[in-house]
Structure 1
């Protein structure tokens, strides 16, 4: 694993190893890395949980954080994303964490840089570290992922979380089903759609999604006033869930829209446990990349210079 940009790049074995490593870190912690490393966090979109958990993960690993705010950088002067990333690479960053509103940006940087790139969310593409912390949360609950029936419910079409989770869960043997209003279905994902009522009654995990307000026009959002009643997790629907079933949500939560506010911290909810697992998951990804990064960096750097010199 040279980068962590998509759940599609990982095998079932690699995914399980990361899940188990993150689970172990969440239970027992991890000693700081012995070598000096610098992590560059390039966040071009607002973020609370993802950015802060990356920073906590880096500090727990003993990594020096190179923070970046686009509105206070040379981006305001017209600097390209590539040149910004190359700047951090040149001054000694050991890896780059990138969050960006454009899809596929992380992969593009991974192909251009000689240091590992971690995708912290790219447009409506993927959000693989969020998916990893979700996998860890489910694994801790059931001690397995294979054979579980898991519903991904909500704004599937615009959700990078939905895409990463559907890919990863399917690889690990889970039975993935989707639930969404017609306008927000993603027909590119090869999984069946159920009604919200069928999903809550038959699934082991009900994974709710945030409505991506920033990716909708005003006309579409006019319909969200009745969303909870028609498509969300209400108090009545929660009562119909299986006794062992759990509720998940990547957050931030639109209380009273995707989920009744009273259910955010109910007995079945694992929403804040997901947040807690975010630190361990990101520690697992960063440490895994750095453990095998030295040889890769040298080879990739030489390959890139050869291409440039042609």
Structure 2
């Protein structure tokens, strides 16, 4: 079994293996053909129970660039709408000779459940509020490409920490490289016991000052069952990356966001256009990272030793 289910459970060495291979894959992306035979003959299926643009498209492009046979299942038009269980969907995909399943689900732990009940490789494209490993990997790849290292840096993660699987995967992954991680957001969106894994800043100014990297997060209103914030306008005033807060941020500090971006709520359009903003660059790097993950998940050695 060769899977990528989360960054909490893989080693620093395995993360570096993925990032190093992603560097080679990015070279392929820059070529005119953008085509390799690495996954020729393999069947790669994407199964997304939640909406996605960047993750789903980049996984599909990554598989196609590596010559895989790709299938995208829309849950809205699948047998799930007829009452088919998750396990029966998995067994159907197994019978259809799937080699790799890329799954996104609103319930934490679903990729782990599938991995225990199938013979193919499983890649977690986001499970509930648990993890989003490939997003964190592409963030780490972008940081290393820009700064030359992912070790011993000062990194701030700003926003909806409570609901963010991106924040969790970044904390698990970046913590393996002796980085100093600080989080900040509305008190209602800071999870309990987070201080066991990261520093908690008392203000946005404190959070961003002296940092090498600032990772801004999307407000996940779709996961909020009650009023965690009073209004988007107030959120932007006290927690958004705007021109007023940028005087505390170095010109060399990387500004990152996993997308999609709510302009004027989490970050201003002007800041998104700064030279140290990597938001669109992250999208491109996501294809290279996902090519590397797909390659490793289909090799005999796999990601896990």
Q: 2:120 aligns with which of 115, 140, 143?
A: 115
State the 1:69 CA deviation: 0.5
CA distance in 2 between partners of 1:93 and 1:172 (Å): 35
TM-score by length of 1: 0.91
Query: Structure 1 segments of 4 or more deviating over 3 A?
Result: none
Q: Does 1:67 align with 2:75?
A: no
**Structure 1 residues 64 and 35: alpha-carbon distance in aligned structure 2, compared to 1, 3 A threshold:** closer
Q: Which runs of 5+ in 2 are unaligned?
A: 30-34
State the 1:219 CA deviation: 2.9
State the 1:265 CA deviation: 2.1
Secondary structure of the corresponding residue to residue 150 of structure 2 = coil
State the 1:24 CA deviation: 2.3
**Matching of residues 62-101 of structure 1 within 5 Å:** 62-101=67-106
State the 1:216 CA deviation: 1.3
Specify the alignment match of 2:187 in structure 1. 182
Specify the alignment match of 2:146 in structure 1. 141
Q: Does 1:193 align with 2:200?
A: yes
Secondary structure of the corresponding residue to residue 239 of structure 1 = helix
Deviations 1:35-69 (A, max 9, x none): 40011110010100000001100100101111101
**Matching of residues 2-13 of structure 1 within 5 Å:** 2-13=2-13
State the 1:32 CA deviation: 2.3
Q: Does 1:159 align with 2:164?
A: yes
Specify the alignment match of 2:233 in structure 1. 225
TM-score by length of 2: 0.93
Deviations 1:167-197 (A, max 9, x none): 1000122111111110000233321111211
Specify the alignment match of 1:170 in structure 2. 175
RMSD of Structure 2 on Structure 1 (CA): 1.7
> Which structure features the higher share of helix residues?
1
- 8 A Cα contact 1:265 1:271, kept in partner: no
Q: 1:206 aligns with which of 206, 210, 214?
A: 214
CA distance in 2 between partners of 1:110 and 1:275 (Å): 27
When the two structures are aligned, how many residues end up with a matched partner?
295
Deviations 1:196-221 (A, max 9, x none): 11122211000000000101135334
CA distance in 1 between partners of 2:230 and 2:252 (Å): 35
Q: Which runs of 5+ in 1 are unaligned?
A: 297-310
CA distance in 2 between partners of 1:95 and 1:57 (Å): 13
